[in-house]
Structure 1
Amino acid sequence: MEIVILTIGTILTVVVAFFYNDYLNRKRIQEMIIQRFGGKPEYKDYDFDDIKILWKELKDERCKGDIDDITWNDLNMNDVFARINMCCSSIGEQYLYKSLRNTNFNSEKLNNLEEKIRYLDKNKNTRIDVQKKLLYIGKRNNNYHVVTFLKCLDSFKLNRCWIYYFLQIMLLIVLVLAVVFRNNYAYLFLGIVFFINISVYALMKNKYEINMDLMVAVQSVLQVSKEFTQKEETIFSEFKEYTGTINKLTHSMALINGRYQRQYTADFVELGAMYLTGAFLFDFIVYNRVIIQLEEKLTDILALLNLLGEIDMAISIASFRNSVPLYCLPEFCKENKIYYQELYNPLLDNPICNDFNLNTNCIITGSNASGKSTFIKAIAINGILAMNIHTCTAKSARISKAEIYTSMAIRDDLLAGDSYFVKEVKSLQRIIDIIEQDRFVVAIIDEILRGTNTKERVAASVAILRYLENKNCIVIVASHDIELIDLLKNSKYDNYYFCEKSENREVLFDYRIHKGVCKQNNAIKLLDLFGYPSAIVKEANKYSSIL
């Protein structure tokens, strides 16, 4: 009796401990979700080769407007992605990256996204429940390759599947014969066929299991999608369109994935049983059948991936909006215009805000480190955020739909044999080529043609800017070359500047943009402040007055 009581007590203790541990784990996850929302994401070293897979695989070459690599890198858009990203799943991260890269403006799509953002921001319990489900998909390495797997399903099939059917039928036949005739020859034949089948199973098992990791990732997507079809909220209504596909594939995949997962938790007896049943090659046949079903429903599955990614991204955007000091929903206008009130760069923790109103081209002058580059990056980044995630880091924004191209952080390319100046020329040429197609472009250029001598730089810069002034574009140029202002005096270029003041042997910047032209320079002053020999400073001032 004591042994029975002890056994029951031990079982109850294990059961209680299991459920208590599960409770603590769920509580920890919920607290983590609540704590992270509305905060600044922690720094993480992202593998962007994996994150960009969805964008690359589903990219339509016929579509115009994708942010090109030069612009993306000029604007530190990987850092912008990291600042926004609070996604719980790999597909959410990939969809966010894809959305930031694609500026094919669609007002209906933006309105749909805004509805999701607002609902998930206001309804905390629903948001937490959604995030828990998205964590089930997670960010395992294989999950990032689901789209590649789906786009290349034919290459993942097991070759010569008819052999597995043949061997399966042969085993069934000789098994029946052995039961009927019960003689040594029948048993020998059964043993030979069984050995052949189990050998085929063992040899093909590794290839099959590599692919099964991707199958598990697809199943997690389908499982979460199925749970979203059962929700009544409007933002999940699009999932219901794919109920038939989800139910059919979930049933098929659960069967094969269940057997695959059990091998990691099974004891020796169950593993032996798996190999015995493996002799019927059932796993391989079902696997190929599932691949065929996935091929038939590929369009639906890709649509579900996008829907899940959008839900995850919407939560990240809601969190981002709660984490910044100021944001607004952009207003889009038909005229070519850029208007921001209290605009700032979202990558700055303590930003200085600026108002900016522009309906033509402009040249922004100013001293070194006065804020020109940071400001023009803020214009470009907010243009991208406005058209892609319906959010601007400003008090208000009224802008036109545009493709955004930059030429800023130029570097020479020794492997390609391109000098700094050649890289500049190519960077500017690509912008001119796009503008020549009469596509409205906001072109942002930092220190135009700085890679050559002053005389030719100014001459070529004026020629390029004159050529662009009557095109279908807004050109914003930041430059130290005051000569540009004089040579473009009667052109369609407004003038703005950033400046600084000296105080107690310090150069103080206000990082405010002003209308007009900046005539002061601080390069020589900085030499003095950083302790250069007085002889150098004196000589520099002498030549400055002559030039």
Structure 2
Amino acid sequence: MEGNVNWIPLGILGLMVVIWATKFLTAIRLKQKLKKAWDGAPFFRKKDTEESLIASLAYPAKGKTIDSQVDDQTWHDLALDAVFDQLNYTQSSLGAEALYQKMRLLEFQPQDQLHDLEAFFEEHPDLRLKVQVIFNQLGKKNHNMARSIVANPGKHYAGLPLYIALACLPILCLFAIPFEPVGAITLLVISVVFNIVFSSLRNWSNKIRLDNVSYLVRIFASAERLSHLALSQQEELKQAVKPFKKTRILASVLQSPTGTSEMEIILLYLNVLFLLPQIAQVYIYNQVKAYQKEAQKLLDLLGEMEVAISLLRHKRDLEVVCQPVFTETGGIEGETLYHPLLSNPIANDVHFQKTWSSVGTMRPGNRPI
């Protein structure tokens, strides 16, 4: 009996090695797929629902000056939802929300930071690919509530020391088995059963809050990983992510289920056994409340990165790219403009001050903008 139980800690260590190796190999395959997709190979990307994207409009980037907003009727009349789909190469819901906000919450001023990011990623394709991998692993989650939680973190939550103590108890029992087999195994069984029941009851009564906080945990963990890359915004990332560095430990197991990996079953049991959702919830809400400015900064920085990469990828498919020039005189002037969804459009010149006028010709079978 005693000889057999001595193998339990080694079994736990072996399981950890298997988990690490599986994640490592998965990341390599993902990197290869994303690299091919950048050159035009098919790559499945889960889409965010329109309802989820619209909900994100209530929480724009901090300090963003909204000069105008595209209303629902204009958005659908001009088929801008289809234009959004053309532009949207984002790998995460955070990036998709940022792109959606760019298109509907308008700023009538140059986007120098965004253009600088595009240029940076164009000059550093290896870094761009690493960033895409991180955002893909962050993944999609409709109505993830990350922006809402950061904007309204709520009250301070107690109970973190208790959750950590309960989570550590089964581990301590495992290492105590070689020294006191009967007592350690008895306490191990009791602690495991208690944690499973306690976690299940807490999850059942607070499922929505726990589900939402998991995505925010992974956002902070993604930001921490990005802060180690030699990006143009590296210093800003490092400063903003400091209060949330510990989230990387939690994020390694708080993954959205995809149904494509047996490892997800193991991670699900680990969540329940070690009360990880409860620990994540209390820790994140308290940290966000204490460091709300830094949390908002991270959302803005990460969203801007994905927008830059998405636009850069879309421009690869275009023959002509036009960059708008802002002036102090007001109005809109453009030459040879056309709607991007028309397969055979007629380009028109546009002059818009207080009234709208377009100058162009009509030919049979063609449509103006």
Sequence identity (%): 21
Partner in structure 2 of residue 145 of structure 1: 145
Q: Does 1:206 align with 2:208?
A: no
Out of 322, 326, 339, which is 1:345 matched to? Answer: 339
CA distance in structure 2 between the partners assigned to 1:302 and 1:81 by the alignment: 24
Q: Distance in 2 between matches of 1:266 and 1:337?
A: 56
Q: Separation in 1 of the partners of 2:277 and 2:93?
A: 28
**Secondary structure at 1:342 match in 2:** strand
Are the equivalent residues in 2 in contact too, given 1:91–1:305 (CA < 8 A)?
Answer: yes
Query: How far is 1:81 from its partner?
Result: 0.8
Q: What does 1:207-246 correspond to in 2, within 5 Å?
A: 207-208=205-206, 210-246=208-244
Cα gap change, 1:217 to 1:69, in 2 (>3 Å)? same
Corresponding letter in the other structure for 1:115: D
Secondary structure (helix, strand or coil) at the match of 1:56 reads coil
> For 2:133 and 2:196, how far apart are their aligned partners in 1?
41
The equivalent residue for 1:475 is 355
String of CA shifts for 1:402-460, please: whole Å, max 9, x gaps: xxxxxxxxxxxxxxxxxxxxxxxxxxxxxxxxxxxxxxxx5xxxxxxxxxxxxxxxxxx
1:120, distance to aligned residue in structure 2 (A): 1.3
CA-CA distance at 1:78 after TM superposition: 1.0
Separation in 2 of the partners of 1:19 and 1:286?
Answer: 21
Equivalents in 2 of 1:216, 1:43: separation in Å? Answer: 21
Report the counterpart of residue 429 of structure 1 in structure 2.
Answer: none
Paired letter, 1:49? E
2:290 is equivalent to residue 288 of structure 1:
no
Identify if the C-alpha distance between structure 1 residues 147 and 337 changes in structure 2 by more than 3 Å, giving closer, same or farther. Answer: closer
Segments of structure 1 that go 5 or more residues without pairing to the other structure are 1-10, 172-191, 359-441, 443-472, 479-495, 501-507, 514-547
Does residue 88 (structure 1) correspond to residue 91 (structure 2)? The answer is yes
Taking the aligned partners of 1:229 and 1:149, their CA distance within structure 2 comes to 22
| Shift in Å, 1:117 | 0.9
**Does structure 1 residue 104 correspond to structure 2 residue 107?**
yes
Deviation at 1:209, TM superposition (A): 5.1
2:9 is the alignment partner of 1:25: no
Q: Alpha-carbon deviations, 1:66-114, whole Å to 9, x = none?
A: 222232223221111111111111111100000111222233xx11111
Secondary structure of the residue aligned to 1:299 is helix
Quote how far apart the aligned CAs of 1:154 are: 2.7
- 1:139 aligned counterpart, secondary structure: coil
Match of 2:336, SS? strand
How many pairs were matched up? Answer: 324
Inter-partner Cα distance in structure 2 for 1:509 and 1:318: 32
**1:154 match:** 154
Which of 53, 56, 59 aligns to 2:58? It is 56
Q: Distance in 2 between matches of 1:354 and 1:56?
A: 35
How far apart, in 2, do the equivalents of 1:18 and 1:287 lie? 27
Greater strand fraction, Structure 1 or Structure 2 = 1
Counterpart Cα distance in 2 of 1:198 and 1:18: 26
| 2:214 and 2:280 in contact (8 A); partners too | no
Give the secondary-structure state (helix, strand or coil) at the position aligned to 1:127: helix
Q: 1:333 to 1:308 in 2, by over 3 A?
A: same
Match for residue 310 of structure 1?
Answer: 304
1:325 partner SS: coil
Name the residue aligned to 1:124. Answer: 125
What pairs with 1:275-424 in structure 2 (closer than 5 Å)? 284=278, 287-356=281-350, 358=351
The alpha-carbon deviation at position 511 of structure 1 amounts to 5.7
**Aligned partners of 1:62 and 1:328: how far apart in 2?**
23
TM-align CA RMSD: 4.7
**1:53–1:148 CA contact under 8 A, matched in 2:** no
The answer to whether the 8 Å contact 1:95/1:313 transfers is yes
Q: TM-score, normalised by structure 2?
A: 0.69
Please state how far the C-alpha of 1:348 moved relative to its aligned partner: 2.2
User: How many Å apart are 1:147 and its aligned residue?
Assistant: 1.9
Distance change >3 Å, CA 52–CA 19, structure 1 → 2:
closer
Residue from 63, 68, 72 that aligns with 2:71: 68
Partner of 1:367: none
Q: Who is 2:182 aligned against?
A: none
Whose Rg is larger?
1
Q: Provide closer, same or farther for how the CA distance between residues 250 and 89 of structure 1 changes in structure 2, counting only shifts above 3 A.
A: same
Cα distance in 1 for partners of 2:199, 2:219 equals 28
What is the TM-score when the length of structure 1 is the normalising length? 0.49
Structure 2, unaligned stretches of length 5 or more? Answer: 1-13, 170-189, 256-262
Please report how far the alpha carbon of residue 307 of structure 1 lies from its aligned counterpart in structure 2 after TM superposition: 0.9
Letter in 2 for 1:54: S
Equivalent position amino acid for 1:120 in 2: F
* Contact 2:254/2:277 (8 A) holds in 1: no
Q: 1:34 aligns with which of 21, 38, 45?
A: 38
Contact 2:344 2:367 in 1 (8 A): no
